[in-house]
């Protein structure tokens, strides 16, 4: 029964996110909102709607570790798995100038979350600040969109076409209905998923945090997977990257912010699990920083780099499983990761940046 609930929840999350994104993007374009703003806000934020629904639902059910673990795990999954798989399909070239600035914003949001977490919880003030920063970020994109290049506008317009005359979703009432149906599916699906995930955790003796960092995080990231892989197959490589970066920023500012406000309305703060603060939160920051060589150089995520990202995610999941089971090989595995694998990855990224910079200067 729990397996059926989990699968049904995943299906509702994907269908709900698709309906929400379609309705919101069509409605925005029908009212003449910039395609750039639609692409980097409504679509990227819409694909993060499952994370929002699951995390807020988990807070309301008292599963605080699941709420925060879902966000951190989703951000790690988005960078390492989604960008890794997309790069294996085709090297991901970043052409749009605006995408480059989104990475420092994503990293800054992650650093702010880390600082806020040092006292062991996200307070009401912290949550309001995060939500306010999300609003400011969106306003900044709207203002900037007025100065966007014609190339950037046409690129996002190609991805998000306004409803054509005669199409079933051309009327704004239909578009509003799509948004409402999508939100309802997200709420229902998130409830099923949280219930099933908690049951799995109890049956397997695994903590809510680990379930949130792995199964739920991957499940709620399915809309990002679909959007980025579709964009990669179409050759719209910067959209594949922009979707991940925009979604990660929304997860931190919007999902954590609203989850904290929800927790405060119930008389408490949003706690940060010690395991999250000592390891997973810093992994999230590390994988965000790993994107810098690619975006600063403005070149591409090559296939071999995509393979490195996927290998890093596999190692991360292996660590979580070993830690949950207190496996005897955990100390050896951790030592290998810290003293061998991580330094090689860092040096490789630095050398890659240096070589690309040298190639550009030459």
Please say if the pLDDT value at position 188 is more than 90: no
Confidence of residue 151 (pLDDT cuts 50, 70, 90): low
Share of the chain above pLDDT 90, in %: 17
**pLDDT on residue 112:** 96
- On whether the CB atoms of residues 214 and 74 are closer than 8 A, the answer is no
Compare 110 and 340 and report the one with higher pLDDT. 110
Binned at pLDDT 50, 70 and 90, residue 129 comes out as very high
What does the pLDDT read at residue 270? Answer: 93
Instruction: CATH number of the domain at 57, please.
Output: 1.20.1420.30
Evaluate if residue 281 carries a pLDDT over 80. Answer: yes
**Which of 15-29, 73-87, 288-302 has maximum average pLDDT?**
73-87
Reported as a pLDDT band with limits 50, 70 and 90, residue 135 is: very high
Q: Which residue has the higher pLDDT, 188 or 93?
A: 188
- Tell me, what's the pLDDT at 217? 82
The model's pLDDT over 319-344, given as tens digits with 9 standing for 90+, comes to 887 877 777 777 777 676 656 555 65
- Kindly report the number of other CB atoms within 10 A of residue 211's CB atom: 28
Buried-state track 179-197, b at ≥16 Cβ within 10 A, e below 16: beebbebbebbbbbbbbbb
Average pLDDT over residues 55-77: 89
More confident residue, 293 or 207: 207
pLDDT the model gives residue 111:
94
Which range among 21-30, 121-130, 289-298 shows the weakest confidence by mean pLDDT?
289-298
What does the pLDDT look like over 191-207, one tens digit per residue? 787 778 778 777 777 77
| More confident position, 104 or 44 | 104
Is the pLDDT reported for residue 101 higher than 70?
yes
Looking at residues 10-24, what average pLDDT do you find? 80
Listed in order, strand segments (DSSP E) in the chain are: 92-93, 121-122, 270-271, 300-301
Please state, rounded to an integer, the average pLDDT across all residues of the chain: 78
pLDDT value at residue 110: 94
Q: Where are the beta strands (DSSP E) in 81-154?
A: 92-93, 121-122
If you average pLDDT over each of 49-63, 84-98, 114-128, which comes out highest? 114-128
At residue 109 the predicted structure's pLDDT band, cuts being 50, 70 and 90, is very high
pTM: 0.78
| Residue of 14 and 64 predicted with greater confidence | 64
pLDDT of residue 212: 82
pLDDT at 356: 59
Domains: count for the chain: 1
- Domain housing 85: 2-361
Tokens matching residue 96: 């749009």
Q: CA Rg, the chain, in Å?
A: 20
Residues 53-83: b if buried by 16+ CB within 10 A, e if exposed: bbbbbbbbeebbbbbbbbbbbbbbbbbbbbb
Output the DSSP codes for 49-63. HHHHHHHHHHHHTT-
Q: What is the mean pLDDT of residues 115-126?
A: 93
Burial class of residue 240, CB neighbours in 10 A (0-12, 13-18, 19+):
buried
- Which pLDDT value is given to residue 49? 81
């Amino acid at each position: 029964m729990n397996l059926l609930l989990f699968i049904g929840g995943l299906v509702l999350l994907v269908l709900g996110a698709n309906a929400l994104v379609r309705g919101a993007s069509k409605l925005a374009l029908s009212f003449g909102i910039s395609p750039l703003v639609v692409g980097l806000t409504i679509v990227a934020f819409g694909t993060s709607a499952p994370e929002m629904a699951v995390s807020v639902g988990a807070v309301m059910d008292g599963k605080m570790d699941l709420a925060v673990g879902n966000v951190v795990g989703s951000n790690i999954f988005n960078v390492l798995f989604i960008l890794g798989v997309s790069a294996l399909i085709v090297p991901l070239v970043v052409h749009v100038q605006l995408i480059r600035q989104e990475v420092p914003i994503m990293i800054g949001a992650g650093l702010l979350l880390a600082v806020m977490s040092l006292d062991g919880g996200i307070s009401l003030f912290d949550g309001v600040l995060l939500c306010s920063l999300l609003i400011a970020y969106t306003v900044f994109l709207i203002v900037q969109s007025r100065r966007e290049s014609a190339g950037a506008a046409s690129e996002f317009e190609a991805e998000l076409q306004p409803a054509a005359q005669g199409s079933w979703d051309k009327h704004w009432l239909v578009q509003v209905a799509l948004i409402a149906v999508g939100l309802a599916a997200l709420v229902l699906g998130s409830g099923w998923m949280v219930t099933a995930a908690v049951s799995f955790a109890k049956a397997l003796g695994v903590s809510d945090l680990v379930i949130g960092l792995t199964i739920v995080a991957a499940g709620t990231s399915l809309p990002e997977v679909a959007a980025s892989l579709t964009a990669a197959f179409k050759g719209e490589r910067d959209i594949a990257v922009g979707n991940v970066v925009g979604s990660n920023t929304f997860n931190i500012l919007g999902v954590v912010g609203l989850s904290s406000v929800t927790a405060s309305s119930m008389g408490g703060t949003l706690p940060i699990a010690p395991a999250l603060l000592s390891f997973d939160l810093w992994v999230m920051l590390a994988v965000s920083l790993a994107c810098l060589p690619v975006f600063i150089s403005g070149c591409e995520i090559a296939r071999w780099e995509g393979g490195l990202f996927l290998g890093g995610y596999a190692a991360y999941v292996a660590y979580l499983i070993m830690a949950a089971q207190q496996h005897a090989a955990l100390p050896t595995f951790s030592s290998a990761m810290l003293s061998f694998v991580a330094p090689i990855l860092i040096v490789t990224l630095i050398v890659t940046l240096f070589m690309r910079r040298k190639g550009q200067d030459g």
